[in-house]
Structure 1
Amino acid sequence: MKLTRYSDYALRVSLYLAINQARLVQISEIVKVYGLPQGNIMKLTTDLVGAGFFESVRGRTGGIRLAISPSELTVGQIVRHTEGGQALVDCSSCILAPECGLICIMSEAKQAFFRVLDNYTVEQVIARNPKAIDILSLTGGE
């Protein structure tokens, strides 16, 4: 399974917010650190605020932060939200779809994929790569 760029960005932003959880983070900072398109990150953060993953504080000194502790927020929760209910294979135009055995297999594979992602919290991802803390916390707020 290949994740969309949207999911990739959501995971990157979540990691950045987890590492910098002691403060509010401005979207422009995240865009600068990762070199991502601002419009995409604005849309993404609006979506993740609406879904309850992030909190947003408006105003000149505002920003975003995680709404869920990094020790409780799983990679699976984020990816499940950003990837939506998409099937692994689009069977809508296939003549075999009503009788095909692949549909169940693909559904089972997708469930297994998410079970693995559900086993890892954002905090655990950071702990697996301590250098990420150095890289992402030194760049913040500059």
Structure 2
Amino acid sequence: MRLTLHTDYALRLLMLLAAEPGRRHTIEEIAARYAIARNHLTKVALRLSQAGFVRSLRGRHGGLELARPPAAINLGAVVRATEDNFALVECFDAARNGCVITAACGLKGPLQEALTAFLATLDRYSLEDLVKARPAGRALRRVLAATQPGNA
């Protein structure tokens, strides 16, 4: 299974907001720091805002910030909110299934089990787990610090 860029960008955006708490980040800044398209990131931020993960504030001191603590943002919930389709194979979508072996195929069950296990694994982690002070979290903060404007 491969996550969409939308979900990839959503996770990166959330990691930045969690790694640099106490400040608001603009779409322009985040897009520049991650070298991704501003328009795509705007759609990602909108979806995260609608799902209650991010708060968007307008005005001179506006920007994006986490809507709840990083420990309260579950990775499985983020992936479910940002992925549009979990149909790993054609037969997962009954309305569009044209596979001629569906009635006799044993593949759907194991793939469904694998998808369930994938999401269950993500459900065990929060955004805090990705950015808390341990080697990976410290390394992430160093890399993000280097992407701040004026540090390039």
TM over 0.5: yes
Structure 2 counterpart of 1:106: 111
Does 2:139 match 1:131? yes
What's the offset of the Cα at 1:43?
A: 0.6
Distance in 2 (CA, whole Å) between partners of 1:135 and 1:61 is 25
Deviates more, 1:34-43 or 1:91-100: 91-100
Residue pair 2:45, 2:54 contacting (<8 A) in 1 also = yes
Distance in 1 (CA, whole Å) between partners of 2:145 and 2:18 is 10
* Higher gyration radius (CA): 2
Percent identity, aligned pairs only, is 37
Deviates more, 1:43-52 or 1:98-107: 98-107
What's the offset of the Cα at 1:125?
A: 1.2
Deviations 1:64-117, CA, capped at 9 Å, x for gaps: 111121112122111121123421112211012244322222111101001111
**1:30-109 paired onto structure 2 within 5 Å:** 30-91=30-91, 92-109=97-114
Alignment root-mean-square deviation, CA: 1.7
Residue pair 1:19, 1:137 contacting (<8 A) in 2 also = no
5+ residue gaps, structure 1:
none
Structure 1 counterpart of 2:29: 29
Aligned residue-pair number:
142
5+ residue gaps, structure 2:
92-96
Deviates more, 1:95-104 or 1:66-75: 95-104
Relative to the length of structure 1, the TM-score reads: 0.90
